[in-house]
Amino acid sequence: MMTNPASNNLDEQNQDAYDDLIVSIEAGIGRLNLLIAVCDYENFRQEIIARYQAELQPDIRCYHVALAKAEPSLKAAIQQLVESEAYLQQHQAAMITVTGVEQLYFLKLVESQSEQEKFFGYLQWTREALREFPFAIVLWVTNQVLVNLIKKAPDFWSWRNGVFHFACKPKNIVPIQDIEPIRNILNNDELVNLNDSRYSGLPIADLERLVEQIETKDNHQDPKLLSSLYSQLGNIYSRRVEKGETQHYQQEENLAIKYYLQAINLQTQLGLETDLANNLNNLALLYKSQGRYDQAEPLYLQALELRQRLLGDNHPDVAQSLNNLALLYKSQGRYDQAEPLYLQALELRQRLLGDNHPDVATSLNNLALLYYSQGRYDQAEPLYLQALELRQRLLGDNHPDVATSLNNLALLYYSQGRYDQAEPLYLQALELRQRLLGDNHPDVATSLNNLALLYYSQGRYDQAELLYLQALELRKRLLGDNHPAVANSLNNLAGLYRSQGRYDQAEPLYLQALELLKRLLGDNHPDVASSLNNLANLYYSQGRYDQAEPLYLQALELRKRLLGDNHPDIANSLNNLALLYKSQGRYDQAEPLYLQALELRQRLLGDNHPDVATSLNNLALLYDSQGRYDQAEPLYFQALDILERQLGANHPHTVTCRKNLASLRDSLKSQ
């Protein structure tokens, strides 16, 4: 019997929260009773509200008000309700549900205050005014709003009589539209039930059971149909992982790989080369996301060769293969190999599809990303602008790809220290994603995270922390606790705490992130190396050099093994290890590492990259510490020249380098 995914049964955690809410409402009748209910999913929220209203009535009469966006005052909303209801004016047993806070924009648009800022401002001074309402008031908020409420309305918060969290985790349901391509293959009577409007899709457990039945039923299943089934199953699981719809990230990612491998095996035997090329490409994408670059590359190359042979050199699918292979090489720091492939893909798309096509915008964007990674900012910016203009013209201003372009352009400006230009673009991208995708989407979390990075770099730590916390909470809720993006948020928040000297708060977050990445991606992944490096940075900042050194060495060894000797991350590791040795006075060990990092950055990124300036500055600091002023001074000059040209005179890195040079000159004068 197929289970009904629309079941109203609450899990244990939500049932406990619901029971506590009912008890609190009933216990506070006849007096002001402020209760806060937290839920991010509107449908689930409405289900809980309907349930407790049905349970409480008729003993406790239930009312429902929504906040007005023009004047978002809790007091005004309740006052208006009471004035219209004689029952409430008699102070009878009643409770009032308040919703709509999450629909208030928290971005400042034209007005000096955002709608949420107005709400919190009213709320902070509402407590005494609410005394005249002897009712239970259940204020529904999202987790994002809750974080703001605690910080911005502490007086109101202190009067709460309870906070009740309702969590609606990702459902293990495959949507009907994703099942459609395999219904004819499965040909199972139970799938007829999916035509019933009560069913939103097929539970994962049922899908796996049906596949098992097909595989074990007999040995006469058409291999071509089976290969198609495995392909579609790979697509289903891959899509669920990509969209964060699974509670079991690694398990379903491995299932996608398993089914793609089975499809590839059958398609190779049957000579189904067109389908084979598609599945090789899809499997390579998964391997790349896992950091398994050595396994991804031959698959991409095989897919490219097949497509060129089957479709000819002039086909959009060939351009896609060139683009994907270039993405892989970029991830490995193999920039010289990535660039010609990106250029080929761009030229091919322009010739086949015309200059005015979304895929051309994608190619422009990807090429710009490459130039950005190389510090070729002057070449990246016009490409980003072209991609943005093209997407706006073809897709309209209200499209997720436009938000992506705004975000990427903002990232470029951020890296150049053009913060005043970056911030409005980040805000536009965030507002656009919230409007198009809703508040509960991974891309919204990415925007919150990026805006936080900007504020962090500007020293606006309070604003950065709030956004980092929102991004972390959103990622946990959407993607589950076990997802690489959650580890990314933990790392970023820890980095903020480290910069503030809040080491006791930073360390457990770094450790959580490291453990999570190892568990999800395995010990051999570039992100694990980055996490080891981050933890080492913390220990270095605390002077815990004996603990920092082995982590730096692990990160360096792992990066060399996974990325090869020629990758910017190797230079980063060499630089950090040298910095540690310099701080310990181990100058003879620090110098060759600084020189290696400098040579590597110059070779990979060019002479005019800010990271090259960082290496020059660090090497100069070493010589400065040793009294080798004649060698230090020209390095400071070179670094300062690069930073002023690339980042501007007022960028924090430029200012630091200028101070270092001034300090050196003071030392020379005192000799």
The pLDDT tens digits for 359-404 are 999 999 999 999 988 878 889 999 999 999 999 999 999 899 999 9
> What pLDDT is attached to residue 327?
94
Q: How far apart are CA 292 and CA 522, in angstroms?
A: 10
Do 281 and 181 reside in the same domain of the chain? yes
* CB-based contacts of 273, cutoff 8 Å, min separation 6: 267, 306, 310
Examine the domain organization and report whether 77 and 29 are in the same domain. Answer: yes
* Domain termination residue (choose one: 428, 461, 480): 480
Q: Are residues 346 and 383 in the same domain?
A: yes
Question: Are 217 and 334 in a shared domain?
Answer: no
Rounded-to-integer distance, Cα 642 and Cα 522, Å:
39
Q: How many domains does the chain have?
A: 4
For residue 547, being part of any structural domain is answered with no
pLDDT at position 144, please? 67
Residue 171 DSSP symbol: P
Q: Regarding beta strands 61-66 and 173-175, do their DSSP bridges make them parallel or antiparallel, or are they unpaired?
A: unpaired
CATH number at residue 61: 3.40.50
At CB < 8 A and 24+ separation, what contacts does 81-85 make? 82/133
Residues 176, 157 within the same domain: no
Same domain? For 64 and 130 the reply is yes
Instruction: Tell me which residue range forms the domain holding 328.
Output: 317-393
Instruction: With residue 414 as reference, give the H or E element that holds it.
Output: helix 400-415
C-alpha distances in Å from residue 102, one per residue of 42, 67, 144, 530: 10, 10, 8, 35
Sign (positive or negative) of CA dihedral 7, 11, 17, 23: positive
The C-alpha angle 274, 276, 277, rounded to 5 degrees, equals 70
Boundary of a domain, candidates 312, 331, 365: 312
Give residues with Cβ within 8 angstroms of 274, minimum separation 6: 306, 310
Q: Measured between alpha carbons, how far apart are the two ends of the chain, in Å?
A: 89
What is the distance between the alpha carbons of residues 556 and 577, in angstroms, rounded to a whole number?
9
Write the Ramachandran bin of 585: left for phi over 0, alpha for psi from -120 to 50, otherwise beta: left
- Answer yes or no: do 446 and 472 share one domain: yes
> Same structural domain for residues 299 and 197?
yes
Q: Which helix (H) or strand (E) holds 465?
A: helix 461-479
Q: Are strands 173-175 and 201-203 parallel, antiparallel or unpaired?
A: antiparallel
Query: CB pairs under 8 A, 24+ apart, for 470-474?
Result: 470/143, 470/144, 470/147, 470/445, 471/445, 471/446, 473/143, 473/144, 473/147, 474/143, 474/144, 474/439, 474/440, 474/442, 474/444, 474/445, 474/448
Question: What are the residues whose beta carbons fall under 8 Å from the beta carbon of 228, sequence distance 6 or more?
Answer: 182, 185, 263, 275
CA 385 to centroid of chain Cα atoms: 23
Q: Could you tell me if 161 and 17 lie in one domain?
A: yes
> What is the rounded distance in angstroms from the CA atom of residue 388 to the CA atom of residue 432?
14
Question: Is 590 part of a structural domain of the chain?
Answer: no
Residues 45 and 138 sit within 8 Å (Cβ to Cβ): no
Considering Cα of 207, then 210, then 214, then 216, what sign does the dihedral take? positive
Question: Residue 566 burial by CB count (10 A; 0-12/13-18/19+): exposed, middle or buried?
Answer: middle
> Rg of the chain over CA atoms, in angstroms?
29
Where does a domain end: 165, 183, 198? 165
Are 152 and 38 in a shared domain?
yes
**pLDDT at position 123:** 64
Rounded distance between C-alpha atoms, residue 351 and residue 344, angstroms: 11
Asked if 321 and 218 sit in the same domain, the reply is no
* Same domain? 204 vs 109: no
The greatest distance separating any two alpha carbons of the chain, rounded to the nearest whole angstrom, comes to: 92
Task: Please list the rounded mean pLDDT of every run of 10 residues in the chain (671 residues).
Answer: 40 86 90 88 82 90 82 80 88 89 51 59 62 86 76 77 78 69 61 48 72 67 84 90 72 92 96 96 91 91 97 96 95 89 98 95 96 87 98 92 96 87 95 84 92 90 94 85 90 96 97 93 88 97 97 96 86 96 96 97 86 95 94 96 87 91 88 72
**Relative orientation angle of helices 545-563 and 526-541, to the nearest 10 degrees:** 160
Q: Hey, what amino acid is at 479?
A: L
In this structure, what CATH number is given to the domain that contains residue 328? 1.25.40.10
How far is residue 364's CA from residue 355's CA, in Å, rounded to a whole number?
11
Contact 359, 353 (CB under 8 A): yes
429 with 659: CB under 8 angstroms?
A: no
Q: Which helix (H) or strand (E) holds 259?
A: helix 249-270
